[in-house]
Amino acid sequence: MLKTIIMESALADHLAKATRVIEEQVDAEIEKIDKMGEDDFETLREKRLQALKKQATKKQEWAALGHGKYEELKEEPEFFKAGQQSKRMVCHFYRDDFFRCKIVDKHMALLAQKHQETRFCKINAEKSKFLVDRLNIKTLPTICLVRDTKTVDYIVGFTDLGNTDEFSTEMLEWRIAHADCIHYNGDLLTPPTQTSTKKKPSILGTEKKKTIRGRENDDSSDDDY
């Protein structure tokens, strides 16, 4: 009993000290503001204005490079050009008749609008043989993550996204953030909560999966190249 009283007293004393420190910090900030003259406020206003102008200019530059929307790269040279022009790029290697690629398209379009700091694009794997071989892409969909002109990571299939066709846009966002290819304010150590803890049936139904060349493939959980 005595030990408990002592511990509670020590805790109360610790909390009181912490509270005083916070109050002192707040008081110091208030005093600093009170002492600011008109010139100081004008300086702060000017700095804020310059920051906003810089941000607006950057957004205009991004928009000119195709940021803010999800577009297709028609030819392989466009992939290298986009990677050189944009500090961050997320590129989806797809095939038209792969339903899972269409799932990726939906999420990428949403993220492109949200993360204007990053170029979101896609390229047809069948028409990009050189790139596919150079990047060693064997499974579709594959999302290539590029930063500072270098390929830093790949998202292959849906394994990293909860191994389900019903993954959320937030899950893809979280996974991309691990490669520092977007500005992310969430917790990288904890994936976003799925809408349901129950395993949902694949929206691919009972359709047999195919390779990129159209062969049936019952052994792979993804679509192999």
Q: What is the DSSP-derived secondary structure letter of residue 165?
A: T
Give yes or no for a contact between 69 and 123, defined as CB atoms under 8 angstroms apart.
Answer: no
Structural domain including 26 reads 1-30
Provide the pLDDT for residue 62.
82
Query: Is 166 among the domain residues?
Result: yes
Q: How far apart are CA 95 and CA 214, in angstroms?
A: 10
Question: Does residue 128 sit in the same domain as residue 22?
Answer: no
Question: Does residue 142 sit in the same domain as residue 216?
Answer: yes
What CATH number corresponds to the domain at position 131?
A: 3.40.30.10
Q: How many domains does the chain have?
A: 2
**Cα–Cα separations (whole angstroms), residue 48 to 30, 31, 41, 55, 76:** 20, 22, 11, 11, 42
Provide the pLDDT for residue 210.
39
Query: Is 153 among the domain residues?
Result: yes
Contacts of 139 (CB under 8 A, 6+ apart): 156, 157, 220, 222, 223, 224, 225
pTM for this prediction: 0.67
- Give average pLDDT by consecutive 10-residue segment, the chain, 225 residues: 63 71 76 68 75 76 92 97 97 97 98 97 97 96 97 97 96 97 94 57 38 39 50
Give yes or no for a contact between 222 and 156, defined as CB atoms under 8 angstroms apart.
Answer: yes
Question: Does residue 208 sit in the same domain as residue 123?
Answer: yes
Question: Does residue 16 sit in the same domain as residue 113?
Answer: no
Beta-bridged to residue 220, according to DSSP, are none
For residue 24, give the 3-state DSSP assignment: helix
